[in-house]
Amino acid sequence: MKQKNKGGRPRSSRVQKKSRAVTVRYSALQYDIVRHRARTAGYRTLTEYVREASVNAEVVQNFIQEHNAVFRDLSGLCNNLNQLTRLAHAQGLQSTVDALSDLLPQVLNLITHLHKEMKRQKVL
């Protein structure tokens, strides 16, 4: 006996079946930008575009955990600079010139080192 064709859409395989949902909220401007990009790229629906963009996107880290120590050192040096600035306002600039001349090259070295490392690791 032949099975009767019930019609309708064939079942999706387990690989193709979409069973998880992610909620994303956009501001009105962001939504318009994403919708425009989807239309420009030729996608029929916004959902298809967002799915493709999120799955095939290349993720680039803002900074690497190894740089935390440098950020901490830089933060400490900036705190010192703020204290020296307050001292300069209270006692006059001449009293803090020596401390500033020692501190500024250290800040510059840390920033240059961090910039080179981030360029080397293609974070920038």
Structure tokens at 50: 């967002």
* Per-residue pLDDT at 12 exceeds 60: yes
Among 70, 98, 66, CA closest to 84? 98
Instruction: Give the mean model confidence (pLDDT) for residues 88-116.
Output: 82
Angstrom distance (rounded) from CA 93 to CA 83:
13
* Per-residue pLDDT at 116 exceeds 80: yes
Angstrom distance (rounded) from CA 60 to CA 58:
6
Instruction: Give the mean model confidence (pLDDT) for residues 16-41.
Output: 91
Confidence of residue 69 (pLDDT cuts 50, 70, 90): confident
User: Residue ranges of the domains in the chain?
Assistant: 23-59, 65-120
At residue 16, what are phi and psi to the nearest 5 degrees? -85, -20
Angstrom distance (rounded) from CA 38 to CA 120:
34
Instruction: Give the mean model confidence (pLDDT) for residues 67-85.
Output: 84
State the pLDDT at residue 34.
94
